[in-house]
Amino acid sequence: TAFLLKNLVDRNTQRYDPFQLQIVCGSIERNVAKNKKLIIANDIGEIKDILRDFYHKIWDAIQNEYNLYGDDFDKKKKDIIKDLVVERRRNLVLENKLISRNNPQDEKIISSLIKKGLLKKIPSSNDTSFYQLSHDRLMAPVMEDLLAIAAREKSIKEIQTRVKEVKVK
């Protein structure tokens, strides 16, 4: 437990976030404890990897639940996460920026992301709401994911350019 406590404490406040503890302990239960009675530090892995896996499992579930694949999935995910982290800080995102009035699926996806623990809804006094990542430690997986999506988009554009060049010749 000393290993976990040392790696989970907020360095500024010296406090532990129950949500983060839940993610890490859930991971240990699912991935380690089912096969072992005695768990050692090396069995647990890096906290950042556990949080990254948590993030990707949420999006895998969303992908399957809403039958989103390929470019459609990347576009939907990018539309949701692109404003959640700004200048390496969690950002409050207006509800109407995440939920399109023309697409009822958006509201369902956002609701699923809240239930799964990726987002939290923050009501405002003027009939509008904001959304935010549920925890600061989820910023790294979001930023990594945005870079991966951008790289895939760049590759697709390069391929399309090459195909046009071949057709012209």
Q: What pLDDT is recorded for position 168?
A: 67
Whether the model clears a pTM of 0.85, i.e. scores above it, the answer is no
Q: What pLDDT is recorded for position 167?
A: 72
* Bridge partners, residue 94, by sequence: 130
pLDDT tens for each residue of 124-169: 888 888 999 998 889 999 999 999 999 998 888 888 788 877 776 6
Does residue 44 register a pLDDT over 70? yes
Q: What pLDDT is recorded for position 102?
A: 74
Alpha-carbon span 50 to 56, nearest angstrom = 10
Strand positions, DSSP E, 8-165 = 85-86, 89-90, 93-94, 119-123, 129-133
